[in-house]
Chains A and B, each alone.
Chain A
Amino acid sequence: MLYGYKGKLLHIDLTREVSESVPIPDEILMKYIGGRGLGAKLFWDLVSPEADPLGPENIFMVLSGPLSGTMAPCTGKHLIVTKSPATGGWLEAYSSGLMAPQMKFAGYDGLVITGRAKHPVYVTIEDDRVDILDAHDLWGKGAFTTEKYVKESFHPDCGTICIGPAGENLVPFACVSSEYFRKAGRGGAGAVMGSKNLKLLAVKGSGGINCANVQGLYDLITKHYEKYKQSPVGSARKRYGTPLTLDITNAIGMLPTHNFSKGQFNRAIGKIDKDGVASATVADRACYACFLSCSKRTKVKEGVFKGLEIDGPEYETLAMLGSNLEIDYLPAIMRANYLCDDLGMDTISAGVVIGFVMECFERGILTKQDTGGLNLRFGNYDAVLQILELIASKRGFGAFCSQGVRAMAGSLGAGSEDFAMEVKGLEFPGYDPRAAWGAAITYAVTPRGACHRRAWPATKELLEGGGPFTTENKAEIVWKLMNENCVMHSLIVCDFPSKFIPLSVAEFAEYFNIITGLRYSEQDFIHRAETIETLIRRINIREGITAKDDFLPKRIIEEAHPEGPTKGKIIGLDNFLRMRSEYYSLRGWDDEGVPSQATIDKYGFEEEEEIAL
């Protein structure tokens, strides 16, 4: 068996209430690395194209990587892979906490959940013991209460994932919580858990993880810690965490404001930016095995929300529930963050959903009659806090909002599709592509819908080549970054070290080699990334997603910002299509985004062993 891996999955069938251990052949681990790559292989083999995302046929997987549970820095993350209720296609959602390490200590590289429990259940796993327990008393409870219950009744050090009421009520942007404030947020994985009547899953392991060269690992960590200490960007990130990003995006016109109709929010300065959050920060928190501690514990010191404490808010939340809704009162954003965390909802999609209905309200497409009396003007945080609770419980106007922007725009019409900020049904994250056009191609082609985590090309665009407002080289920049991120997300390494220390794929390859005892070059990894991207593309094609779904809202392609550095800059349809087609061609896919037979043959999908449950 390979060092670093456990070589098996735990399959839990909720319908039959049984579980079994499933071996994963070494060749599959070696080809797909783990995390995202392994998830792609399992999705391809196990998830039927006919499966309804919210039906018992859908499969819900929690995966680790070869570095999880070791001292390799910034690897305390797990990955959820399932079919998305938001897009109907491939979903990957990452979070951190004790889940991945504890799965490994319990002896599994991942968990595969199938079927649907007859009534609400929660599952505890202690090494090879699996208990499927009645969750009637937990159903309806918030994610915080739920997790606290199991930490007290099962084990204080267990890794957990759980859902709040939004997941139970099948909201398509319900998230999966872990360690209270960490969320696998995007694409509705929480609704998939809800559809399976699975409230919570907890794992505690007593075993260990072997490493081919422990001393080599110690030396490498020390070396990279020294490198990080020399990095001014790394230190700034540790000091301010992700809120620092808001200062940057606001300066370059990339900060979603007023439902993406503007790219700057001047009232953010000193209030909801790095300094605003720093003034509320009371402690630094770190994820498992991380020396960067970017997570900030904040506390409201005065006013109506006095005493409220959370880990966060992170950049995305500041942008989507702050500037995008023109809210500049940090305690209100923190309260919205707390509510989303406890109700179990993605703060990004929730922010875009509310931004959308606010704009509809402003334009008269929605009236107070529709909103149940809520005054949905931008900046009204009281209304935002009320809507969040209504969405999670699907009550009143919240039931309408809970569909997500694509479905809302579909039923409202009246031109609202043009400013429904989504791709494939997944709402936009907090970066406006018009400020650096590479993001336009990223959002369009990423398999889970509008998503910034497959590639964040802005830095390269600003520093290299023709600048942010061209199409030149953009497809190539995005293609390369996506390959790098695919490696990182298959190893399951946080995005921070690669961006801010920075540690390259080659440097993380060293961790992989030291831990597993294998000898992979950077090129070996990039080849695997290409393989994985193509396999995920095939998955989405099998789910009926085509080039027409690799598209952006009209606002992004045809509208310009009214002021700021992005004023008057329009991407335009031709430019967008050119970048997209260049991207397809770099991948060896045809003009419709379908992998050619030569590409399929190149990656050897046909010869490999199929994994069955």
Chain B
Amino acid sequence: MRVLIIDSEKCTGCRMCELACSSFKEGEFIPERSRIRIVADALEGWSRPAVCLQCEDPMCMAVCPVQAISKTETPQGDRIVEVNTEKCIACGRCVVACPFGAIALFHKSKAIKCDLCGGSPRCVEFCFYGCLQFVELTETEYAKRTRKITALTRRACKEIGTEEPLRRRAVFSLEASRVTPGPGVSLDTGEGCP
């Protein structure tokens, strides 16, 4: 299956991903409602995207009191964690639970998060620097990634305590961007992927 991977070193801070995401999802350029957000320190000269990892054991799903969050797949079989907006009661527990600040609530809205645009993520399409890629993983690679996410989630939950979501995003986005097996993954792994 395919996953969104982030090569933080390549991010230049142009924020095109936020604009692509929000315009596709909301019909207007509104980064505040982008599912992918840039964390940056221009003085220190770095930036990187923060976005949902589509966890195998999602904390957001675990805490949802009305089972509005579930694990599902895009038509092409990419695993995603999805919010059923009809069921969502906008209680905000998922926002508090996600250690990566990757799910959000806005004024009078339901919880919103990345759903990989149904299998063709717009942020990847408009990332002109190769920082965001959508790549096919083998079962072994995917399992390795899942183990890393689980370990990071545990640690993040412990360390982050009551930090507000905005700050969580900043604290763990770098490590979150490294959960995918690194240099072994190439963009060219098509259907014949070993």
A221→B126 contact, CB < 8 A: yes
Identity of the chain B residue whose Cβ is nearest the Cβ of A148 in the assembled complex? B43
Identity of the chain A residue whose Cβ is nearest the Cβ of B47 in the assembled complex? A285
A179-B42, A180-B43, A208-B22 as given contacts; A70 in contact with B12, CB under 8 Å: no
- Beta-carbon contacts under 8 Å, B96-125 to A: 106
Flag whether A420 is at the interface (Cβ < 8 A). no
Flag whether A611 is at the interface (Cβ < 8 A). no
Flag whether B45 is at the interface (Cβ < 8 A). yes
| Residues from chain A with Cβ under 8 Å of B9 in the complex | 283
A293–B106 Cα gap in the complex (Å)?
Answer: 32
A287→B14 contact, CB < 8 A: yes
Flag whether B165 is at the interface (Cβ < 8 A). no
| Residues from chain B with Cβ under 8 Å of A297 in the complex | 45
Q: Which of A29-37, A209-217, A268-276 lies at the binding interface? A: A209-217
Identity of the chain B residue whose Cβ is nearest the Cβ of A311 in the assembled complex? B45
A-B contact count (CB 8 A): 91
Return A469 CB to nearest CB of chain B, in Å: 40
Flag whether A105 is at the interface (Cβ < 8 A). yes
Flag whether B79 is at the interface (Cβ < 8 A). no
A71-B19, A147-B43, A156-B170 as given contacts; A210 in contact with B12, CB under 8 Å: no
A180–B13 Cα gap in the complex (Å)?
Answer: 14
| Residues from chain B with Cβ under 8 Å of A76 in the complex | 14
Flag whether A225 is at the interface (Cβ < 8 A). yes
Flag whether B27 is at the interface (Cβ < 8 A). yes
- Beta-carbon contacts under 8 Å, B1-53 to A: 9, 12-16, 19-20, 22-24, 26-33, 38-40, 42-46
Return A582 CB to nearest CB of chain B, in Å: 42
- Beta-carbon contacts under 8 Å, A249-292 to B: 282-291
A208-B28, A225-B128, A283-B45 as given contacts; A289 in contact with B14, CB under 8 Å: yes
Most buried by A among B27, B45, B46: B45
A290–B127 Cα gap in the complex (Å)?
Answer: 10
A218–B21 Cα gap in the complex (Å)?
Answer: 12
Return B70 CB to nearest CB of chain A, in Å: 28
B30→A207 contact, CB < 8 A: yes
Return B17 CB to nearest CB of chain A, in Å: 10
Return B19 CB to nearest CB of chain A, in Å: 5
Residue ranges of B at the interface with A (Cβ–Cβ < 8 Å) = 9, 12-16, 19-20, 22-24, 26-33, 38-40, 42-46, 106, 126, 128-129, 166, 170
- 25 example contacts (A-B, Cβ-Cβ < 8 A) are as follows A70-B19, A71-B20, A71-B29, A71-B126, A76-B14, A105-B30, A147-B43, A206-B32, A207-B30, A208-B28, A208-B30, A209-B28, A210-B28, A211-B28, A214-B24, A284-B12, A285-B13, A285-B42, A288-B14, A288-B15, A289-B14, A289-B16, A291-B14, A291-B16, A291-B128
